[in-house]
């Protein structure tokens, strides 16, 4: 029993599990763009460019309103797919009443990755100073898939992707799914490979 992930699974120079290339899903959260069916998506475009410049593949892009259920449904649909290794959302991480991306995505997390938000805000300090505290960027693992919840600005997406997400996610995706390979190996050993 193999999956397309098995073909992309290996270990890095330190023996750490990795999946490379990654298959990526992007969710852009913007009521104004969704209402006007506006194709302009600087945050989503930046995320895509960062992943593709590292030879990863964007498999799906989704545009939703600033709405808890719409965001949660879009992310849940992507993490349930076997052909998506990582999901990034962009938009809705601020402090206004309709900024609900962190809550909608975190409701799906089986395990949080608090270090991502801490590191992202630390890097943002260099760019925006004290305004970095207003970012509620977060990350976690949902259905064995790393999910990153980013602000909507191009600059924030570029910083997060180039400095943190793209370099580390092949390893995170490898770790988050390693138990699937171990279970498959045990099954084959127990029952033969008929």
SS3 letters for 93-122? CCCCCCCCHHHHHHCCCCEECHHHHHHHHH
Task: Indicate the pTM of the whole model.
Answer: 0.89
Alpha carbon distance 1, 185 (integer Å): 9
Q: How confident is the model at residue 31 (pLDDT cuts 50, 70, 90)?
A: confident
- pLDDT higher than threshold 90 for residue 190: no
Domains of the chain: 17-191 (3.40.980.10)
Report the C-alpha gap between 30 and 150 in whole angstroms: 13
What is the per-residue pLDDT across 66-110, written as a single tens digit (0 to 9) for each?
Answer: 999 999 999 999 999 999 999 999 999 999 999 999 999 999 999
User: Closest Cα partner for 159 from 122, 109, 111, 114?
Assistant: 122
Q: How confident is the model at residue 147 (pLDDT cuts 50, 70, 90)?
A: very high
* Higher-pLDDT residue of 56, 130: 56
């Amino acid at each position: 029993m193999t999956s397309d992930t098995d073909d992309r699974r290996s270990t890095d120079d330190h023996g750490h599990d990795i999946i490379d290339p990654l298959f990526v899903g992007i969710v852009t959260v913007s009521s104004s763009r969704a209402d006007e069916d506006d194709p302009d998506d600087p945050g989503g475009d930046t995320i895509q460019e960062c992943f593709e410049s590292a030879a990863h593949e964007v498999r799906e892009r989704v545009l939703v309103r600033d709405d808890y259920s719409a965001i949660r449904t879009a992310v849940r649909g992507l993490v349930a797919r076997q052909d998506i290794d990582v999901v990034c959302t962009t938009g809705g991480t601020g402090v206004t009443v309709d900024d609900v991306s962190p809550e909608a995505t975190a409701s799906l997390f089986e395990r949080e990755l608090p270090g991502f938000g801490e590191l992202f805000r630390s890097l943002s300090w260099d760019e925006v100073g004290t305004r970095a505290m207003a970012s509620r960027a977060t990350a976690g693992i949902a259905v064995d898939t790393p999910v990153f919840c980013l602000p909507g600005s191009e600059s924030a997406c570029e910083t997060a992707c180039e400095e943190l997400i793209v370099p580390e996610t092949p390893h995170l995706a490898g770790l988050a799914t390693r138990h699937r390979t171990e279970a498959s190996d045990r099954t084959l050993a127990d029952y033969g490979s008929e």
